[in-house]
Amino acid sequence: MRNALGLMLASVVTAVVITGVWFWTSSPRADAAAPQTVAARKAEPLPAPAAAKPALRDDVEITASLSKPAPAPAPVPAAQPVRSTCANPDALGVSRVVVIDTTGGPGFGFLQYKQFDFLTDKEIVLTFDDGPWPTTPAVLKALSDECTKGLFFPVGKHTTYHPEILKQVASAGHTIGSHTWSHAHLDSKKLTEQQVREEIEKGFSAVKMALGAAPAPFFRFPGLAHTQPALGYLASRNISMFSVDVDSNDFKSSGPDQVIQNVMTKLDKQGKGVILMHDLQKHTAIALPTLLRRLKAGGYKVVQMKAKEQLETLPEYDAMLVKDQKVPAVASRPISSVVQTVSQ
């Protein structure tokens, strides 16, 4: 009896011991140290690039890298400087270009119109009246040599005499307005209101006919002789009016030197402004290269004026001009009797 009881007790003790050992060895110990982070093995350095490796060819495109990352966006080409077409590094040039909204017929030139003082100190606008004329190409060359721009007010009749010269003015990038049809002084009591309108409108129609394109809605009165009815009519047509700040008086100057002196003396006194010259005056054509150099040396800067929208000429005056010039609107002969293809 005692032997059996002893065997049972020994079995229980043995089971408890085995369970304890198993629990001790398989469970995490409370006093065990935290797991240690093992430093990763340093990567082996890549072999140094071979010396004197041939340069990449410009026509080879790199399509992948060694590690094959996500494709990078195509690089944006660096901005390239705008190359000037001007061959003269010391040219007078154009400092800025302004666009004019001619709604309501704003006026420029402080001799008569003082509403809009948009020029800053030393800024000038070069304007030329009465062309186109055989002297105009010399004026264009002087402006081109200095890479600068002007504003031309041609006489309508003159554009019918020399349309090819007016096209040269346009192709050179200058702004073209109008200076009436026949250079009539519109304040004359001999002119009716209808005749005044005709002078204005036929002048613009003549420019359009010569250029094959609409002119700018810019107008200068011959002799600067405006009237209130004429001003009102121009305003109703949204045509901007131009007067002057500096008058060259080239039409009564003794020679080119006098033209230069007139402009520089007045301009140095006023400091800025719209300059009035005449491209049909020989003295002006001769004086202009030197005058532009003097303007550059004096620190003056040219502002080019452009219109926000070109003028829509009136059909009745376009037709009137065609009739007056005896330009046929409809061919009297079939095209095949006039134009024949001889080689193709």
Conformational region of residue 122, where left means phi above 0, alpha means psi within -120 to 50, and beta covers everything else: left
Query: Could you tell me the domains of the chain?
Result: 100-324 (3.20.20.370)
Q: Locate tokens 């089971």: which residue?
A: 15
Residue from 191, 232, 217, 208 nearest 320 by CA: 208
Write out the E strands in the chain: 96-100, 107-108, 123-129, 151-153, 175-176, 218-219, 240-242, 246-247, 273-278, 301-307
Whole-number mean pLDDT of the chain? 81
pLDDT band at 210 (very low <50, low <70, confident <90, very high): very high
CA–CA separation, 13 and 11 (whole Å):
5
Q: What is the pLDDT of residues 112-155, one digit of tens each?
A: 999 899 999 999 999 999 999 999 999 999 999 999 999 999 99
Q: What is the CA radius of gyration of the chain?
A: 43
Calpha distance 193→298 (Å, rounded): 45
Render pLDDT for 239-296 as a digit per residue (tens, 0 to 9).
999 999 999 999 999 999 999 999 999 999 999 999 999 999 999 999 999 999 999 9
Q: What is the dihedral of CA 265, 271, 276, 277, to 10 degrees?
A: 50
Element (H, E) at 138: helix 136-145
Tell me if 275 sits within 8 A of 126, measured CB to CB.
Answer: yes
Of 339 and 56, more confident: 339
Query: Is residue 36 scored above 50 in pLDDT?
Result: no
pTM: 0.72
pLDDT at residue 208 is higher than 70: yes
Q: How far apart are the C-alpha atoms of 6 and 224, rounded to whole Å?
A: 141
Report how far residue 176's alpha carbon sits from residue 285's, in angstroms, rounded to the nearest whole number.
18
Q: What is the pLDDT of residues 169-184, one digit of tens each?
A: 999 999 999 999 999 9
More confident residue, 24 or 316: 316
Q: How far apart are CA 22 and CA 99, in angstroms?
A: 95
pLDDT at 9: 54
Query: What are the distances in angstroms from CA 62 to CA 46, 51, 66, 72, 74?
Result: 20, 21, 11, 12, 12
C-alpha 311/C-alpha 102 separation (Å) is 10
